[in-house]
Amino acid sequence: MDKVIVSPSPHVHSPASTNRIMLDVVIALMPAIIVSILFYGWCEILVLAVSAVACVGLEWLIAQFLMKRPELFNGSSALVTGLLLAMNLPCTTPWWVVVIGAVVAIGIAKMSFGGLGQNIFNPAITARVFLLISFPVYMTNWAMPDGFIGSVDAVSGATPLGLIKEGLKSGSTIPEILSAHGLTASTILRDIGGSSGEISAIALLVGFCYLLIRKVVKPWIPLSILGTIALIAFIFHAIDPAHYTGIGFNLLTGGVLLGALFMATDYVTSPMSNWGGVIFGVGIGLIVMMIRYFGSYPEGMSFAILIMNCFVPLINRAFHQKKYGRA
Amino acid sequence: MAKLTFSIGGIHPADSKIARERKIEVLPLPDRVYVSMFQHLGAMAKPVVAVGDTVKAGQIIAEPGGFISAYIHSPVSGTVRSIGPRKDLAGFMQMHIEIEVQGDEWAEGIDLTPELVTSIPEDRDFILDRIKMNGVVGLGGATFPTHVKLNPPPGKVAECLILNGAECEPFLTSDYRILLERTDEIVVGAAIMQKVLGGCRCVIGIEENKPEAIAAVRASVARLGYPSMEVAVLKKRYPQGGEKQLIDAVMHRQVKSGGLPIDVGAVVQNVATSLAVYEAVQKNKPLVTNVLTVTGDVLPAEKQHNYLFRIGVPLSFIAQYAGGVPESAVKMVSGGPMMGKAIANLDATTVKGSSSILYLGEGTARKSESPCIRCGRCADACPMGLEPFLLKSLYKAGDVAALEQNAAQDCIECGCCQYSCPSYIPLLDNIRMAKGQVMAVIRARNAKK
């Protein structure tokens, strides 16, 4: 032995690493990505590729040349942001809109706060909301192009949530709206139009189970979001089914699953304690349902997550680990 | 009975007990031994021999330097060659007595026969005196003088003696070997300590990954017929053998911050200490031998050993006898991989608490640190329920008051946080420093009172 290392304990380390965690998230997103490619075809591949390359490239450029701190570049984390951003966009989004989204996600939401671990808001969601407000035409035109396994036989032009919101504004009841657009319970659950990440609940759940098994995330945040949404939807739908949508509809549309499973569970922008996570999740569920039932936007998952992101530092202050011998 | 474990945090590092099947071998005597005067917690011992004196094995060569201190005995027979400072394991200069080995003659009154003596002396003070005069200290890591720990202050009553056979550190197998090979002696040692503590019950905690040891101890307790002694099977989980964690696992009680185990009626002793107590009381044999493991991920299995060594033998002698330092080792550790001390060379000498020489390869090298991603794994892993990420930030900010509020002083330095961090942040390095600052503030405040 030529050199001896002398350093304080511990002398061994777990196999965990940041890159391994990000790789696990990418693996977990794969089922949903594959399903959306099968449904939407080449245009989906294009959006995914542009978003991933733009996010990783921008992070490198900003770290290298703007901040002059190359160590702040973390390719695996930028890749996750890129994939999540793409999954939040309709596959018909023009490539330059996707690039603008990447600039907002990486440049504004992430790197201007100091890079990985420092951002207050979820980068992909910030970009989605920015695009939704700036380019409402591209962002709400959910046209259905041909996929690799045939075109999706459903609505084009607007999502079910959008249709219902418009219908309710013009005074119709939910059953009238659904029958007017030829929507049934089965088509809603199987082939709802929307952003690519919304297309298959099962694929998203399979990916999330992988994260649970790998112990990358804990289930408390998604459970409290979905539980809160389900409870509110149950109560309102039971009271007035003509004007308030039900549990299944609210859980499976408008990016609720993608948001609850993969966006709200982002380490950096969610609370660190289990109970903090529950408060965070209940808050998101409440805000989503308030927006959907009483607000002017048809969905609201993105806004809900961003609003609750603001409260994370406060939640972290309020909820601490249970300490040994200090009951 | 259900398997027991502690209630907060913990990790599952790879077991790596490669030397577990290697029987204890008696290490031969070297030419010279160097006996440290600082092998226990508390005050340094004071030499009572002079250069040129001839000594016998088991003869007192140093006496306690204070109330919390311990006698030290010569591990060999021979001539005192020097008394002076020498680097210890941690690299500090400490007083050592150098003895040139001549023959192997033991002092009068020490019973070296292997026969098991089961009749326990009636007189409590006699037992405590034997433990004190034979220099017994806790061999689980802290080396706290055993006669002090077995003599609770007035008003405190021991309800349960917990014998620590968890050996939760990866690689180490010395406790496991003595549990298998010196079972009866350990069990009688525990019965002696029960008696000293006023007849409290005794629970021997052993992790589930040592089923042979569990069976052996159970059989021994049944054979010797101790009704108030039982074996508790513990889950394999680090740091199960931490004193506070073991009390939580076995008694479902938690020691208050700054308090002592006896406050909740617990006295925890390592199984190796129990063996030393047996030898001290039943055989009048001082603590001059102990068992250590030569092990590591870069050491071939056939070169791994469990040795019965004389306390004071240089580490280099043991390493050489075991076949030399492996080429691919980049780190040498005295103790386990989670809490042991890295050593720069093998010049230092063994002490009462020595439990291993551990050789680690490239994998032990620290990887460069990346930003915290707030995953919370450090807080989930902390067995004291602390928030290492927060303590690190507070330390960097120099906020000692907030560090105390967030219990930095409660850290037991088990290393779970740093082990778990996916960003390779040296959390424990920072928290150790923070703990030092908070302890200084607390001491200053107490001194004013």
- Together in a domain, B286 and B157: yes
Of A3, A21, A116, the CB nearest to B371: A116
Q: Is the pLDDT of residue B134 over 60?
A: yes
Q: What is the 3-state secondary structure (H, E, C) of chain A?
A: CCCCCCCCCCCCCCCCCHHHHHHHHHHHHHHHHHHHHHHHCHHHHHHHHHHHHHHHHHHHHHHHHHCCCHHHCCHHHHHHHHHHHHHCCCCCCCHHHHHHHHHHHHHHHHHHHCCCCCCCCCHHHHHHHHHHHHCHHHHHCCCCCCCCCCCCCCCCCCCHHHHHHHHHHCCCCHHHHHHHCCCCHHHHHHCCCCCHHHCCHHHHHHHHHHHHHCCCCCCHHHHHHHHHHHHHHHHHHHHCCCCCCCHHHHHHCCCHHHHHHHHCCCCCCCCCCHHHHHHHHHHHHHHHHHHHHHCCCCCCHHHHHHHHHHHHHHHHHHCCCCCCCCC
Residue from B100, B101, B97, B98 nearest B37 by CA: B97
Residues 6+ apart with CB under 8 A from A132: A139, A140, A302
Q: Is the pLDDT of residue A185 over 80?
A: no
Q: Is B257 on the interface with A (CB under 8 A)?
A: yes
| Cross-chain residue pair A321–B382, CB shorter than 8 Å | yes
Measure A221 CA to nearest chain B CA, in Å.
Answer: 13
Interface-testing mutation among B374, B419, B433, with chain A (most A C-beta atoms within 10 A): B374
Please report whether residue B426 resides in a domain. yes
| Cross-chain residue pair A324–B374, CB shorter than 8 Å | no
Interface-testing mutation among A7, A14, A77, with chain B (most B C-beta atoms within 10 A): A14
Q: Is the pLDDT of residue A208 over 60?
A: yes
Q: Summarize the confidence of residues A271-275 as an average pLDDT.
A: 92
Spatial separation of the C-alpha atoms in residues A306 and A301, rounded to whole Å: 9
CA-nearest residue of chain B to A10?
B338
Please report whether residue B243 resides in a domain. yes
Cβ atoms of B58 and B110 within 8 Å: the answer is yes
CA-nearest residue of chain A to B327?
A1
| Cross-chain residue pair B386–A321, CB shorter than 8 Å | yes
Q: How confident is the model at residue A43 (pLDDT cuts 50, 70, 90)?
A: confident
Of A5, A13, A320, the CB nearest to B419: A13
Q: Is B342 on the interface with A (CB under 8 A)?
A: yes
Assign residue B118 a region (left: φ > 0; alpha: ψ between -120 and 50; beta: otherwise). alpha
Q: Summarize the confidence of residues A249-265 as an average pLDDT.
A: 88
- Together in a domain, B290 and B396: no
Q: Enumerate the residues of chain A whose CB falls inside 8 A of the CB of residue B364.
A: 5, 11-12
Q: List residues in chain A touching B: CB distance below 8 A.
A: 1, 3-14, 16-18, 20-21, 71-72, 74, 77, 115-118, 267-268, 272-273, 320-327
Helix axes A42-61, A18-40, angle to 10 degrees: 150
Measure A309 CA to nearest chain B CA, in Å.
Answer: 14
What predicted TM-score, i.e. pTM, was given to this entire model? 0.90
Cβ atoms of B25 and B402 within 8 Å: the answer is no
Spatial separation of the C-alpha atoms in residues B150 and A72, rounded to whole Å: 55
Spatial separation of the C-alpha atoms in residues B345 and B299, rounded to whole Å: 17
- Together in a domain, B252 and B140: yes
Return the half-sphere exposure (C-beta side, CA atoms, 13 A cut-off) of residue A88. 34
Residue from A71, A143, A139, A69 nearest A104 by CA: A139
Please report whether residue B29 resides in a domain. no
Q: Is B255 on the interface with A (CB under 8 A)?
A: yes
Q: Which tokens go with A146?
A: 């041909």
Measure B9 CA to nearest chain A CA, in Å.
Answer: 10
Q: Is B171 on the interface with A (CB under 8 A)?
A: no
Of A5, A12, A116, the CB nearest to B373: A116
Quote the radius of gyration of chain B (alpha carbons, Å): 22
Q: Would you state the pLDDT for residue A36?
A: 85
Q: Which tokens go with A142?
A: 């959910």
Name the residue range of residue B422's domain: 377-447
Q: Summarize the confidence of residues B371-396 as an average pLDDT.
A: 95
pLDDT digits (tens, 9 = 90+) for B210-229: 999 999 999 999 999 999 99
Q: Select from B345, B365, B385 the last residue of a domain.
A: B365
Share of chain A above pLDDT 90, in %: 61
Of A3, A18, A322, the CB nearest to B423: A18
Measure B376 CA to nearest chain A CA, in Å.
Answer: 5
CA-nearest residue of chain B to A317?
B390
Q: Select from B331, B365, B399 the last residue of a domain.
A: B365
Q: Enumerate the residues of chain B whose CB falls inside 8 A of the CB of residue A11.
A: 331, 333, 337-338, 340, 342, 358, 360, 364
pLDDT digits (tens, 9 = 90+) for B340-360: 999 998 999 999 999 999 999
- Together in a domain, B344 and B403: no
| Cross-chain residue pair A16–B366, CB shorter than 8 Å | no
Q: Would you state the pLDDT for residue A156?
A: 46
- Together in a domain, B424 and B309: no
Interface of B with A in 397-436 (CB under 8 A): 407, 410, 413, 415, 418-424, 428-429, 432
- Together in a domain, B353 and B398: no
Mapping DSSP to helix (H, G, I), strand (E, B) and coil, where does residue B358 land? strand
Of A11, A324, A327, the CB nearest to B331: A11
Q: Would you state the pLDDT for residue A187?
A: 54
Question: What is the average pLDDT score of chain B?
Answer: 95
Q: Is the pLDDT of residue B449 over 90?
A: no
Q: Enumerate the residues of chain A whose CB falls inside 8 A of the CB of residue B370.
A: 18, 71, 74, 116
- Together in a domain, B259 and B381: no
Residue B292, H or E segment:
strand B289-296
Q: Which residue has the higher pLDDT, B344 or A179?
A: B344
CB atoms within 10 A of CB A251: 17
Q: Would you state the pLDDT for residue B251?
A: 96
Assign residue B248 a region (left: φ > 0; alpha: ψ between -120 and 50; beta: otherwise). alpha
Measure B181 CA to nearest chain A CA, in Å.
Answer: 30
Please report whether residue B77 resides in a domain. no
Amino acid at B43: A
Measure B83 CA to nearest chain A CA, in Å.
Answer: 28
Q: Is the pLDDT of residue A155 over 50?
A: no
Q: Is B144 on the interface with A (CB under 8 A)?
A: no
- Together in a domain, B413 and B350: no
Measure B306 CA to nearest chain A CA, in Å.
Answer: 21
- Together in a domain, B229 and B339: yes
Q: How confident is the model at residue B323 (pLDDT cuts 50, 70, 90)?
A: very high
| Cross-chain residue pair A9–B338, CB shorter than 8 Å | yes
| Cross-chain residue pair A10–B419, CB shorter than 8 Å | yes
Spatial separation of the C-alpha atoms in residues B127 and B148, rounded to whole Å: 12
Q: Would you state the pLDDT for residue A159?
A: 67
Q: Would you state the pLDDT for residue A152?
A: 47
pLDDT digits (tens, 9 = 90+) for A60-86: 999 999 999 988 899 999 999 999 999
Quote the radius of gyration of chain A (alpha carbons, Å): 21
* Edge-to-edge order in the sheet of strand B32-36: B32-36, B93-101, B78-87, B54-55
Q: Summarize the confidence of residues B11-17 as an average pLDDT.
A: 94
Please report whether residue B247 resides in a domain. yes
Please report whether residue B314 resides in a domain. yes
Q: Is the pLDDT of residue B107 over 50?
A: yes
Interface-testing mutation among B331, B392, B410, B430, with chain A (most A C-beta atoms within 10 A): B331
Spatial separation of the C-alpha atoms in residues B308 and B115, rounded to whole Å: 18
B172: domain CATH number is 3.40.50.11540
Q: How confident is the model at residue B1 (pLDDT cuts 50, 70, 90)?
A: low
- Cα-based torsion angle of the residue sequence A185, A186, A191, A196 in order, rounded to the nearest 10 degrees: 60
Q: Select from B365, B395, B428 the last residue of a domain.
A: B365
Amino acid at A137: V
Please report whether residue B75 resides in a domain. no
- Together in a domain, B400 and B296: no
- Together in a domain, B187 and B306: yes
Please report whether residue B8 resides in a domain. yes
Longest dimension (CA), chain A: 82
Q: Which tokens go with B353?
A: 């608490």
- Together in a domain, B351 and B412: no
Residues 6+ apart with CB under 8 A from B166: B205, B206, B207, B234, B240, B241, B246
| Cross-chain residue pair B413–A9, CB shorter than 8 Å | yes
Return the half-sphere exposure (C-beta side, CA atoms, 13 A cut-off) of residue B113. 6
| Cross-chain residue pair B256–A326, CB shorter than 8 Å | yes
Q: Is B373 on the interface with A (CB under 8 A)?
A: yes
Cβ atoms of A322 and B8 within 8 Å: the answer is yes
Q: Compute CA B269 distance to the chain's CA centroid, rounded to the nearest angstrom.
A: 10
CA-nearest residue of chain A to B408?
A323
Q: Which tokens go with B218?
A: 């159970």
Q: Would you state the pLDDT for residue B431?
A: 97
| Cross-chain residue pair B365–A322, CB shorter than 8 Å | no
pLDDT digits (tens, 9 = 90+) for B254-299: 999 989 999 999 999 999 999 999 999 999 999 999 999 999 999 9
Interface-testing mutation among B171, B419, B427, B432, with chain A (most A C-beta atoms within 10 A): B419
Measure A273 CA to nearest chain B CA, in Å.
Answer: 7
pLDDT digits (tens, 9 = 90+) for B136-173: 999 988 899 999 999 999 999 999 999 999 999 999 99
Interface-testing mutation among A4, A59, A321, with chain B (most B C-beta atoms within 10 A): A321
Question: What is the average pLDDT score of chain A?
Answer: 87
Cβ atoms of A291 and A299 within 8 Å: the answer is yes
Measure B2 CA to nearest chain A CA, in Å.
Answer: 22
Our count of domains for chain B comes to 2
ipTM: 0.91
